[in-house]
A = this chain, B = another copy of it.
Amino acid sequence: VKHATEDLTFETPNRRDYVNITPQVDEVVRRSGIQHGLVLVNPMHITAAVYVNDDEGGLIADIDDWLERLAPHEPTSQYRHNNGEDNADADLKRQLMAHQVVLPMLPRRRATRPRPVGASVLRRVRRPRRKRVVVKAIGE
């Protein structure tokens, strides 16, 4: 069985950022030489998500509004987890986005087509910081 693992790193300056990571995932799959298998795309942070959808501005704005409606940031006092922090809503928003994605690797097709992968990085703290996503492919 062949396997390949790579860490992707992203800078996410805002409280919530949506980063298209499809090109990087495709590149890991291509380099792995695996024709048939599964690829897992998994963020290494509990308030980050990976999901599959188009990288389209209107759609991302709709998703962002919807996350805020179902798991509002304010009032921060409504959350018991906001103890010295103010980001308890990020844990709930992430539940709505799914944590990790598993995709089929198929020959004669780019791994992530027609399934673009967007990383919804729901940030835990205000200050900009790096986010890490593990891509793990297994197969033959």
Contact = CB atoms under 8 A, between A and B. Distances in A.
B92 A95 contact: no
Interface string A92-122: 1001111111111010000000110000000
Contact of A91 (B63, B88, B136): B63
Identical subunits present: 3
B136 A38 contact: yes
The secondary structure that dominates the A interface is mixed
B136 A138 contact: no
> How many of chain A's residues touch chain B, expressed as a range?
35 or more
Interface of A: 1, 3, 5, 36-38, 40, 42, 44-46, 51-54, 56-59, 61-63, 66, 70-71, 79-83, 88, 91-92, 95-104, 106, 114-115, 134, 136, 138-140
